[in-house]
């Protein structure tokens, strides 16, 4: 078995912040809340691909409106060790729970998109009415 020699790229906190358009404060805050655990080289933080993925997951969770506490649980699911049976059952339970939530949100989105389409149609109708009115003057 050979050591598959991937570059094993790393990033500084500033690089990661620039890439994902967040502040350094935000990244450090996520670490403070246990969402990130970068390596330390001296006192400085060094981020590995794994940390990068976690940050992306965190931000996706935020866009979805989850709290950081919820995001912590979700993200930790991805990194979960095989563990024993009870742990796996718990994980499966969590998955079901999150899926239910997400499907509710998807329904909310569909409904809202439809509502927006209606408002838009009304808008166009109103615009047409205005134009017809001014044309006939």
| 50 sits near its own copies (criterion: CB under 8 A) | no
Q: Give alpha helix (H) positions in the chain.
A: 13-20, 24-32, 49-63, 68-78, 85-135
Residue 33 found at the interface with DNA (CB under 7 A): yes
Q: Which is nearer to DNA, 62 or 73 (CB)?
A: 62
65 makes contact with its own copies (CB under 8 A): yes
End-to-end Cα, the chain, rounded Å: 84
- What's the closest the beta carbon of residue 20 comes to its own copies, in angstroms? 14
Q: How far apart are CA 41 and CA 44, in angstroms?
A: 5
User: Per CB under 8 A, does 72 bind its own copies?
Assistant: no
- For residue 57, what are the contacts with CB-CB under 8 A and spacing of at least 6? 71, 74, 75, 78
Residue 81 C-beta: closest distance to DNA, Å: 25
Give, in order, the Cα–Cα distances in Å from 86 to each of 9, 30, 78, 91, 125: 36, 29, 17, 9, 59
Scan residues 67-86 and list those touching DNA (CB under 7 A).
Answer: 67-69
Nearer to DNA, 26 or 94 (CB): 26
Hey, what are 34's tokens?
Answer: 């246990």
- When asked if residue 128 is in the footprint of DNA (CB under 7 A), the reply is no
Neighbours of 57 (CB within 10 A): 17
Select from 1, 6, 8, 113 the one that contacts its own copies (CB under 8 A). 113
84 makes contact with its own copies (CB under 8 A): yes
Residues forming contacts to DNA in the complex (CB under 7 A) are 12-15, 23-26, 28-29, 33, 42-45, 62, 67-69
């Amino acid at each position: 078995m050979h050591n598959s020699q991937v570059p094993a790229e790393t990033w500084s906190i500033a690089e990661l912040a620039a890439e994902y358009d967040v502040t350094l404060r935000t990244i450090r805050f996520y670490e403070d809340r246990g969402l990130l655990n970068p390596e330390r080289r001296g006192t400085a933080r060094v981020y590995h691909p794994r940390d990068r993925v976690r940050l992306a997951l965190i931000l996706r969770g935020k866009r979805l409106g989850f709290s950081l506490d919820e995001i912590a649980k979700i993200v930790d699911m991805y990194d979960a060790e095989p563990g024993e049976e009870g742990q796996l059952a718990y994980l499966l339970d969590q998955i079901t729970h999150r899926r239910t939530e997400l499907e509710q949100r998807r329904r909310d989105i569909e409904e809202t998109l439809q509502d927006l389409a209606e408002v838009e149609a009304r808008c166009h109708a109103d615009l047409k009415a205005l134009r017809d009115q001014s044309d006939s003057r």
